[in-house]
Structure 1
């Protein structure tokens, strides 16, 4: 992988798929299998194609519980392969769409002082970048903090697993 400007690794050309598990009724599964055969695709490819179509042609005019309209380009506006950048985009443009885990992470970032030199405003609904703030540097600080949290969590998990294992008895 080539390094791009700012020390970031260019992830744009990498097509990494995510694995999801879904539960569907037998009739829908049969329909998916038939559709896959008709299009000479796998069932996974057929499901991915169907999801892409739904995301490209959302149900306009239907209200949702969060009172947010789905826009065709919403994914493009929010997506980044860099999770710090993606979280910041969500916080600044659509904080109402943050998951619980993302909100918890954001509060940890705020309490740790990671955000104070970069943002102005009070509360999630009123945040904006400070004038002349280095957004890329901010995104990288978010990602670094997140990586350290992950590392701490992995370390705590491995320690707790180590304690639960019984030591072999000496002969």
Structure 2
């Protein structure tokens, strides 16, 4: 039985078609013989070596009134391996947009702004760019699930779109609080609390009654011993 082919997202490698000068192709063949690699291996090795020499732009964002600290320069391959790469298209865009917004295309900028302005995609709505962190704030599972629909809407409208809670099929924070309150009420939480308070009130009354009785007895035996301070008595509920 033939195995099903892996999709691009499932495969560990992707196919790339290149047109190169015949002399360069011959040089790749020679390098493959020297390094005892396949032609593909030589090309991949060469590209990775070249990417290590290309530096990412230094993008920074000013948070508050503090002077920005310029990050250290890093190569493309370092940035990709360290933070940018993900097999998921949506997550890749969010990471690239947050780290290097100057590298976004116009279409990617529309998608990014649509994400930033839509509360369902965040734990708390980012008021400034520095709060739109894919690691600390973004709800990546929601973004990934809605990504095909978001790209379709942005592509068709050609502008920024705002996604609502209803669009992604999630309740609003207010609705969540209502559900929690209803669940607590249905579970008898408030009734249990009231019963506990009533039991405490009854115990308090019993203690005060016992204290009064003890004071009466002591007054008959020794009036000096029966002097109680107000703070010695249990508080009234």
TM-score class, shorter-chain normalisation, is: 0.5 to 0.7
- After the TM superposition, which segments of 4 or more aligned residues of structure 1 sit over 6 Å from their partners? 66-69
Q: CA 1:127–1:149 in structure 2 vs 1: closer, same or farther (change >3 Å)?
A: same
Structure 1 segment 87-166 matched on structure 2, within 5 A: 87-110=93-116, 114-115=120-121, 117-121=124-128, 126-129=129-132, 134-135=137-138, 138-149=139-150
Corresponding residue pairs, total: 127
* Higher relative contact order (Cα pairs below 8 Å, separated by 6+ residues): 1
**What's the counterpart of residue 74 of structure 1?**
79
* Aligned counterpart in structure 1 of residue 13 of structure 2, from 13, 17, 20: 17
The answer to whether the 8 A contact 1:84-1:140 is kept is no
- Distance (whole Å) between structure 1 residues aligned to residue 54 and residue 118 of structure 2: 40
Q: Deviations over 1:75-105 (max 9, x none)?
A: 1122223333322221222111123442232
The answer to whether the 8 A contact 1:91-1:98 is kept is yes
Name the Cα RMSD after superposition.
3.3
Structure 1 segment 29-108 matched on structure 2, within 5 A: 29-56=25-52, 58-59=53-54, 71-72=74-75, 73-75=78-80, 76-108=82-114
**Structure 1: which 5+ runs fail to align?**
1-13, 153-171
TM-score normalised by L of structure 1: 0.57
TM-score normalised by L of structure 2: 0.43
How far residue 36 of structure 1 moved from its aligned partner, in angstroms, is 1.2
Larger radius of gyration: 2
- Distance (whole Å) between structure 1 residues aligned to residue 120 and residue 105 of structure 2: 20
- Distance (whole Å) between structure 2 residues aligned to residue 18 and residue 127 of structure 1: 33
The answer to whether the 8 A contact 2:32-2:42 is kept is yes
- Distance (whole Å) between structure 2 residues aligned to residue 105 and residue 44 of structure 1: 34
Q: CA 1:108–1:47 in structure 2 vs 1: closer, same or farther (change >3 Å)?
A: same
- Distance (whole Å) between structure 1 residues aligned to residue 112 and residue 22 of structure 2: 41
